[in-house]
Structure 1
Amino acid sequence: MIDDISLKILRILQKKARIPNVEVARQVGMAPSAVLERIRKLEKIGIIDGYEVRLNPERFGKSQVAFIHVHTSGNGTDKAILKSLAALPQVQEIHYVSGDDSYLLKVRETDTKALGRLVREQIAPLGGVVATRTAIVMNTFKETARIPIDDQALNR
């Protein structure tokens, strides 16, 4: 069970993961050692999965985002397909989805030519991949990995 103080700590950390522990403690009105203990407990029980640095994709020439729908034959090859897709550094997310397609990938590449090569040479040829459809992102207005935290989380 997560209490109000832990929720406050989680909200603070989602906004700025590198915030000093002393500042978190000041914001929630607790001793820094108590806050650190709570954070370690939240990590231990799997509420906090980890910490990541968000890099500017344009600085690395990876500003082209696309979503690729992958339809598979479903004949037992999906584990191998998923392993191969997960190994591609351009693939940021893989989701099993309902509907006609099996998986939805979020990928990041340098440009549409590189994206085309990725689909033609590394995704479509995978055994069991029946078809792909690609939606190229023209502009991104919001992108986040933050989870909405509401007070209902206390009851879960």
Structure 2
Amino acid sequence: MQIDKTGWKILEILQENARLSNAEIARLVGLTTSAVQDRVKKLEARGIIQGYTTRVNPAALDLTLTAFVGVRISPHHLARQVGSALAATPGIEEVYRQAGDECFLIKARCRDTVQLEGLLDNINDTEGVVGTRTTIALSPVTEANGAILAAHRSCAPQEPDED
């Protein structure tokens, strides 16, 4: 889906702070409040804006250990069942089905290695899971908020500005 430069700017602003008013966004992009409101409604209607969330600081909740876990399964016809079970497991933030030796890649946050060990035990006890490979992250270079736009804006097709 093509978006003009002003649309990209509005998305960047909302992704950084979705609580800004339409009037403030309008000031930042040089449009009227009603024009920004119309654009945001169009972005929502097109499914580009899927919702508004709150970012939580994991360290403030003592979740300072981030781990990425590759999961191998067998038999492969259990993939949907295993994926659903993994997604419902406390401590797991994200689950991706992937191609390659490992069928799933999981992002998990834990307080410490003891909690991670318990999480890995739960994962390995899931029917169909035959093994895991765990990598512990030292620190984030970039994380989800803003990553989608930052990673894809330069290569996405753009329409000329509407306004």
Q: Same fold (TM over 0.5)?
A: yes
**Aligned counterpart, 1:126:** 126
Of all paired residues, the percent bearing the same amino acid is 38
Shift of 1:96: 1.9
Corresponding position: 1:98 with 2:102: no
Between 15-24 and 122-131, the greater mean CA deviation after superposition? 15-24
**Aligned counterpart, 1:22:** 23
Shift of 1:86: 0.8
- Please, what is the CA RMSD of the aligned residues? 1.7
Higher relative contact order (CA 8 A, sep 6+): 2
**Aligned counterpart, 2:143:** 143
Match of 1:154 among 151, 155, 158: 158
Measured in 1, the distance between the counterparts of 2:9 and 2:103 equals 38
Note if contact 2:70-2:134 (Cα within 8 Å) is conserved in structure 1.
yes
**What 5-or-longer segments of structure 2 have no aligned partner?**
none
**Aligned counterpart, 1:113:** 114
* Amino acid in structure 2 at the alignment position of 1:23: E
Paired residues in the alignment total 154
**What 5-or-longer segments of structure 1 have no aligned partner?**
none
Shift of 1:16: 2.1
Task: Report the TM-score, using the length of structure 2 for normalisation.
Answer: 0.86
**Aligned counterpart, 2:57:** 56
Shift of 1:129: 0.6
Change (3 A) 1:137 1:54: same
Write out per-residue CA displacement over residues 123-156 of structure 1, whole angstroms, 9 at most, x where no aligned residue: 101111110111112233332332222374316x
Measured in 2, the distance between the counterparts of 1:151 and 1:86 equals 31
